[in-house]
Structure 1
């Protein structure tokens, strides 16, 4: 049976805005790092015990909150989401991750935590920083998998417009698409049905807290046609 691995990185490195939600904004950075390291260890344990036929799904809180028991393309998958990840931090996590069984397909979603308004995401310096980190992730994925799928950033809610630069959603998605053209990965947008035009914002009811998806399974299902393609 064809082995498939889904590696979706980061779309929302934030931990949310209520419940899980305010953790990233109000806890000390040391706490965020400690959580990320413990989660990285848990992901590594899952990879070490992964079945020979699996899909590896990695990223930030949008990925970590994906329900278990799903079988994308008919395969088991390991949830590799690490809430709080930016492109740079996930590149560092991934560099320390080992794959006993190599994934057949890898997918990447990254960037929402990079477009916080406090980061001045549309400055040339920040954009270059993001691209360099994303390239490191894609290069690492291509080293362990023959097929890499990179997704657009998911949209954000208008209620968090002071925290996240919605206009940067399209800008950073384009950066990822351009990287795929240069590095040889496949670009896809499993969040297209959630978008309110090209605004970077989500349609009403698409998100549960202005940040996380109201329903996670449909996003993974929307990605399946690209992931399962021979």
Structure 2
């Protein structure tokens, strides 16, 4: 039987190895996509929730998916530090936190929350340099039947994300609101059998397309409302494109999706 201290050291190391290998697989494709970035592009950043969305169209603006499944905030910050974006894009969308609330990471401890906040600050520094607007999503809910993640931490970590958005002038959104069973961290329905991933990521792309209203001449937005309150889409600028918003989603790589899902079933990222 392994000592608790051994597991405390081995699990983060094992997680880092898994995500690092997958990040290395994704890196060439991500770099190729970034070389095609334009001032109208939207960057999708974060964990598997962001990766599985594919490349939706945001009101006529193409998206570039640079997310890596399994990432924690620290993994994401390291990933972004190794990338270069040739132009300043229209916006970026961050979905992060699901892998930071694993129970073995002790998300109930103040130091875990503080570490998460520090890593998200690093992420936002990159996104602020790369895009004119930044949208940050609340941490999605988890299934009541899953035991690997702490539902109580969903509200706490989402609250930190909302506070950072208010502090730095970004928009905090909740594209997962329809999945929540009340204001807590438990999902009502709409999840895959692992209790973490969504059953329908096309629907999530639709929600994001409705919430990420991108201005041509963006101004900082400081929204101090609680993350649990419904976050309506901001008023459209007179300079923003008019007409119905549309999106198209490129089919995600099934092999990559299954690889991450198998890891999730095994208690890994």
User: Which residue does 1:56 correspond to in 2?
Assistant: 43
Checking the alignment, whether the CA contact within 8 Å between 1:73 and 1:227 is kept in structure 2 is no
State the Cα RMSD in Å.
2.1
Checking the alignment, whether the CA contact within 8 Å between 2:190 and 2:199 is kept in structure 1 is yes
User: Which residue does 1:204 correspond to in 2?
Assistant: 189
User: Which residue does 2:158 correspond to in 1?
Assistant: 173
**Where does the alignment leave 5 or more consecutive residues of structure 1 unmatched?**
1-23
* Structure 1 residue 147 displacement after superposition: 1.0
Checking the alignment, whether the CA contact within 8 Å between 2:138 and 2:161 is kept in structure 1 is yes
Deviations 1:38-62 (A, max 9, x none): 2133212211133553222122111
Distance 2:197 2:214 in 1: 27
Deviations 1:56-90 (A, max 9, x none): 2122111222245x322122211112012110111
User: Which residue does 1:5 correspond to in 2?
Assistant: none
Count of paired positions: 204
* Structure 1 residue 208 displacement after superposition: 4.4
Distance 1:29 1:187 in 2: 28
Checking the alignment, whether the CA contact within 8 Å between 2:41 and 2:91 is kept in structure 1 is no
Using structure 1 for the length normalisation, give the TM-score: 0.81
Using structure 2 for the length normalisation, give the TM-score: 0.70
User: Which residue does 2:21 correspond to in 1?
Assistant: 34
Distance 1:31 1:116 in 2: 15
Q: Kindly name which structure, 1 or 2, has the bigger radius of gyration based on alpha carbons.
A: 2
Deviations 1:15-43 (A, max 9, x none): xxxxxxxxx99x77534321122213321
3-state SS of 2:59 partner: helix
Deviations 1:144-176 (A, max 9, x none): 22211111011111221x200011011100010
Checking the alignment, whether the CA contact within 8 Å between 1:72 and 1:221 is kept in structure 2 is no
User: Which residue does 2:243 correspond to in 1?
Assistant: none
3-state SS of 2:134 partner: strand
Distance 2:80 2:90 in 1: 17
1:159 paired with 2:149, answer no
Q: 1:77 aligns with which of 47, 51, 63?
A: 63
* Structure 1 residue 205 displacement after superposition: 3.5
Distance verdict in 2 for CA 1:205–1:109, change over 3 Å: closer
Distance 2:101 2:172 in 1: 19
Deviations 1:93-117 (A, max 9, x none): 1111111122111121111100000
